[in-house]
Amino acid sequence: MGKIVDFSGVKVDNVTLTEAAEIVRHYVIEGKARIVVTPNPEMIVAAQADSELKDIINKADLRVADGISMVVVSRILGKPLKERVSGIDLALKLMEIGSDYKYRVFLLGGAPGVAEEAGRRLKKQFPGIEIIGAYHGYFNAGDESSVIKKISDSNPDILFVGLGAGRQEKWLNHHLYELGATVGMTIGGSLDVLSGRKQRAPRWIQALYIEWLYRLLAEPQRWERQLALPKFLYLTLIKKVL
């Protein structure tokens, strides 16, 4: 089984959820600044026209496959990914581990109040973690340096960044060394779910590989973004055999 699976030039590490969490646990022990990203089909499509994003994903320390269609495609291509590792599942697993090791966690992203609410809920579920800071993701350029200072002053083991796909990877990559966090991990819209503001698709829907349909029905305004899925299939499967 290959260690890396390539999707149209975007590399993803072939790890299980447990393996990914173990890798991040070691990152925290080592204390060196690292980036963990969670590419999904939409990001793989976006990366085709955005070389900066593609580069950041490819150079990140750990890249997990956040999309069941990536697992399906990898199997068809004969380079099977072990499993899907969604950002939110990895974040939750790290909270579980972090509860034992008293991880210092900073949550950045979402509308005002979302990160704080997610922090309160996480602390209840994983009492051992220390939520050392939470801040919304709609700060402007003028506030940026004070946001960075807030984070670096708090010295987090893990900084979760949910500023929207594309922006969050670039922001984290650009500021990694100023942020003073050991691990910076991008999590897309996970804070909305962790705060209880949005519902994740039930497990049985995920098991049927139709989470995309659930999201389309729950948030029909996302239809345009969801076109990324057929584009991803075209790019990785159809284009390959043509």
Query: Can you give the binding site for ligand UDP, defined by CB under 6 A?
Result: 109-111, 137-138, 162-165, 188-189, 191-192
Nearer to ligand UDP, 83 or 117 (CB): 117
**116 vs 5, 87, 135, 185, CA distance in Å?**
36, 19, 7, 18
CA dihedral 137, 57, 228, 237 (to 10 degrees): -170
Least CB distance to ligand UDP at residue 114 (A): 6
CA distances from 234 to 98, 212, 231, 239, 242 (A): 39, 17, 5, 6, 10
Residue nearest to ligand UDP (CB): 137
- Tell me how far, at minimum, the Cβ of 191 lies from ligand UDP, in Å: 5
Are 48 and 9 a contacting pair, CB within 8 Å? yes
Residue 201 Cβ, how far from ligand UDP at the closest point, in Å? 12
Cβ closest to ligand UDP, residue 13 vs residue 42:
42
> 109 — alpha (psi -120 to 50), left (phi > 0) or beta?
left
Q: 28 or 158: whose CB is closer to ligand UDP?
A: 158
Q: Are 17 and 71 in contact (CB under 8 A)?
A: no
d(CA 237, CA 229) in angstroms, rounded, equals 12
Pick 110 or 156: Cβ nearer ligand UDP: 110
At 2, which amino acid appears?
G
In whole angstroms, the minimum distance from the beta carbon of 77 to ligand UDP comes to 24
Closest approach, Cβ 215 to ligand UDP, in A, equals: 8
The smaller minimum CB distance to ligand UDP, of residues 128 and 164, is found at 164
Query: What tokens were used for 188?
Result: 């897309």
Question: 137 or 180, CB closer to ligand UDP?
Answer: 137
Nearest distance, CB of residue 225 and ligand UDP, angstroms: 7
For residue 99, CA distances in Å to 6, 95, 105, 179 come to 34, 6, 10, 22
